[in-house]
Structure 1
């Protein structure tokens, strides 16, 4: 049986067979719709609190950075009512949806409790100062722990009820939309947006066509392509849900993104200094070539610190490295998550699914609507709402007021959802399935890395150097 047709467990199968069922127009008929309502409900509540001078921070709780186990325990113990409230709210939202869809709450709730407590421990491990140095974020640790457990311990059947991979992904993606207002495009300016567009397109199509040439499934190639073209982990998650890729493929894509992100933390600052790049130009190149925000900030900050201690040997203000990186990566490239998710969802719905199901490619509007992943619309609506909110602020005020008061709590809740998702993926995946694709994904992604780095260098150092140096003051 080929990879593209392998049957996965029904409760975690990230395929497109849900789209082939009879059309159901109810707005509460499936997890797709429920993910939209849950995500938007959280965003609206957060906005209402923010508009009245409050914040959802009390619910969006997460462990703070810690160095010793004593600090870690004290942090959790002092916020135990917040964690209880977060579990209760999460169980209520997910449980209500699943009950309406006909699932057993008596099986889901104890399973979700174990999932939540384990996710908290994973969150705690990810906030250890030494873990952050190596970009070991909570979703990645969740995936690794899940794989370890699932391949060494036989889990009880009832526990599978809480491992709702697709549901957690979809809710997380809707929440992701709230962290990416379209206003960022205008704040970034035409150069940052233009450079991000060139790099995103070049890297995606390089990886996608390389993957197809190497025999990878087109959904897998698309997830790899977006992971390399945009924002690593978040982009891979969003594109995976949009094209309904297999969970094993998503796991491989995340692993490759993180490995290369860690490599680039060390390589890009070293090469930038060897080439004598200014701080702003190096920051732009890092922003164009890195695959994760946390890793990119680390690399840009390292170069800025090197300039600060170099006694003038590196041109530009030290802070310009992080400023240029933020403009290029966090603003310019990250907004492409939504664009790629929508485009790929449309292509998968109207072309790939139709071809695989033996349906004519030019399907009618009703059929396209039935097949289209509704949570992508949730992502767009969430982005539109925060775009409207952001339009009332300058970029400086947005970062100072909106980000900590509104966006940061939603971002924390998104990370919880992604952690639930990747822990569930790990707990339902066998290592044999991860190694089945062999070296081909690594080669396809590495080709994209080379293109990404070279194109980013040319644009940052030669084409738009004056613009980036102008930021450095």
Structure 2
């Protein structure tokens, strides 16, 4: 009979709340990691800036910090520490390569984000090299994604709703609600499964990649489905970014109308900024305000989706034909959402603006790093045949139909509100 004590482990969502809160508290207390430079234009720029000794030291400091945080996560969730310690350096190194590729001026011109490079690198390795089981077991995809989401809450400031202006907020509310419900309706008509339908609806209607990731976390969605949705978001953002300003110029839309149209329909913030810049200063300002207004709604949307999903979509065997009680809803509710909302409330009402200004770059850098680490991990555990197969056609059709509706309904609302 064994006398070894039982190992005390935490649910991953609670572990994420603890780790995300620890990172935020350390930042507020003054422990700020320096932000490495990944932007470069040519070979000389790459070697002189990105690969300089000072920048490599910053990258190493990030590695040590994320290794420790992720190691604590593995420890308190009961994952093998040895496998994590061996696997994480590889995941981190691949992620840094992705960040360097995404930092090139050509990638930035095409609005290719680091997560897509992370995913592609991971997929390339997993599809051509047979990975050992210990490496697969070391991947902490969900942990990395949710830590990034908790940190993301620090940038969702409720006070900025007022700064964004009433017209921007009104458009955001109208676009998010109408496009979300239309996208979900189309997905149901095309018999797209519920998980990917929720991700598509949020990605198209709210703020692209971040909304898809938040929704996947809220519903405990399949990471492979999340990868596919994000691929669609990033790929469609490129032609929209290029052609929508041309269309606006052809029809002689005013800059405020064009900016509101771009900000409400293009799914990634980077593409919105790039597209608005092509039109003019006023269009850039309005597009940024409208997009930011939609981003602010992400926390509320994630909370509402969590409640809906836990109440309607996951009955256990014993209560399959009955609605779950409040206790059951609480047990199923993704606790990381509380960390996200708590971080948002903290930075909205308690953290002084001066402190927020001081820590935001470091926290944003860490948020992007955790997301990139997660997508490297997703790529390493996914095969192309799982990502792009016959079943991927219907979600693609649903996404394109919803995005087309988004473009036209947003234009109509922009013409009414910003003419």
The 1-side partners of 2:316 and 2:251 are apart by 49
Contact 1:177 1:379 in 2 (8 A): yes
Q: Tell me the equivalent position of 1:427.
A: 380
Is residue 346 of structure 2 the alignment partner of residue 385 of structure 1?
yes
Pick one of 261, 277, 280 that aligns with 2:253: 277
* Corresponding pairs, count: 409
Q: How far did 1:195 drift? A: 0.6
Q: Tell me the equivalent position of 1:64.
A: 38
The 2-side partners of 1:453 and 1:358 are apart by 42
Contact 1:269 1:303 in 2 (8 A): yes
Secondary structure of the corresponding residue to residue 207 of structure 2: coil
Q: How far did 1:302 drift? A: 0.8
Is residue 11 of structure 2 the alignment partner of residue 35 of structure 1?
no
Is residue 275 of structure 2 the alignment partner of residue 345 of structure 1?
no
Q: How far did 1:140 drift? A: 0.9
Contact 1:62 1:123 in 2 (8 A): no
Is residue 299 of structure 2 the alignment partner of residue 325 of structure 1?
no
The 1-side partners of 2:356 and 2:402 are apart by 32
What per-residue deviation string (whole Å, max 9, x for no partner) do you get for residues 34-85 of structure 1?
1111111111221222xxxxx7242xx2333111233223333322222222
Secondary structure of the corresponding residue to residue 39 of structure 1: helix
The 1-side partners of 2:321 and 2:350 are apart by 42
Contact 1:63 1:72 in 2 (8 A): no
The 2-side partners of 1:141 and 1:163 are apart by 18
Q: Tell me the equivalent position of 1:245.
A: 221
Q: Tell me the equivalent position of 1:156.
A: 132
Gaps of 5+ in 2: 1-7
The 1-side partners of 2:379 and 2:56 are apart by 27
The 2-side partners of 1:445 and 1:288 are apart by 16
Contact 2:28 2:355 in 1 (8 A): no
Secondary structure of the corresponding residue to residue 62 of structure 1: coil
Cα 1:347/1:266, change in 2 over 3 Å: same
Cα 1:357/1:210, change in 2 over 3 Å: farther
Cα 1:109/1:190, change in 2 over 3 Å: same
**1:290-369 superposed matches below 5 A:** 290-304=266-280, 319-329=281-291, 331-354=292-315, 358-369=319-330
Pick one of 21, 25, 28 that aligns with 1:44: 25
Pick one of 207, 212, 219 that aligns with 1:231: 207
Contact 1:203 1:451 in 2 (8 A): yes
Using structure 2 for the length normalisation, give the TM-score. 0.93
Pick one of 94, 112, 132 that aligns with 1:136: 112
Q: Tell me the equivalent position of 1:18.
A: none
Contact 2:95 2:373 in 1 (8 A): yes
Secondary structure of the corresponding residue to residue 131 of structure 2: coil
Q: Tell me the equivalent position of 2:4.
A: none
Cα 1:356/1:233, change in 2 over 3 Å: farther
Q: Tell me the equivalent position of 1:445.
A: 399
Secondary structure of the corresponding residue to residue 235 of structure 2: helix
Contact 2:15 2:76 in 1 (8 A): no
Q: How far did 1:298 drift? A: 0.6
Cα 1:356/1:275, change in 2 over 3 Å: farther
Q: How far did 1:428 drift? A: 0.6
The 1-side partners of 2:155 and 2:317 are apart by 34
Pick which of 224-233 and 61-70 moved more.
Answer: 61-70
The 1-side partners of 2:41 and 2:322 are apart by 56
Contact 1:284 1:324 in 2 (8 A): yes
Contact 1:351 1:361 in 2 (8 A): no
Secondary structure of the corresponding residue to residue 203 of structure 1: helix
Q: How far did 1:230 drift? A: 1.0
Q: Tell me the equivalent position of 1:396.
A: none
Using structure 1 for the length normalisation, give the TM-score. 0.83
The 1-side partners of 2:47 and 2:132 are apart by 30
Q: How far did 1:418 drift? A: 0.5
The 1-side partners of 2:338 and 2:360 are apart by 19
Q: How far did 1:103 drift? A: 2.1
The 2-side partners of 1:357 and 1:125 are apart by 50
Is residue 418 of structure 2 the alignment partner of residue 457 of structure 1?
no
Q: Tell me the equivalent position of 1:103.
A: 79
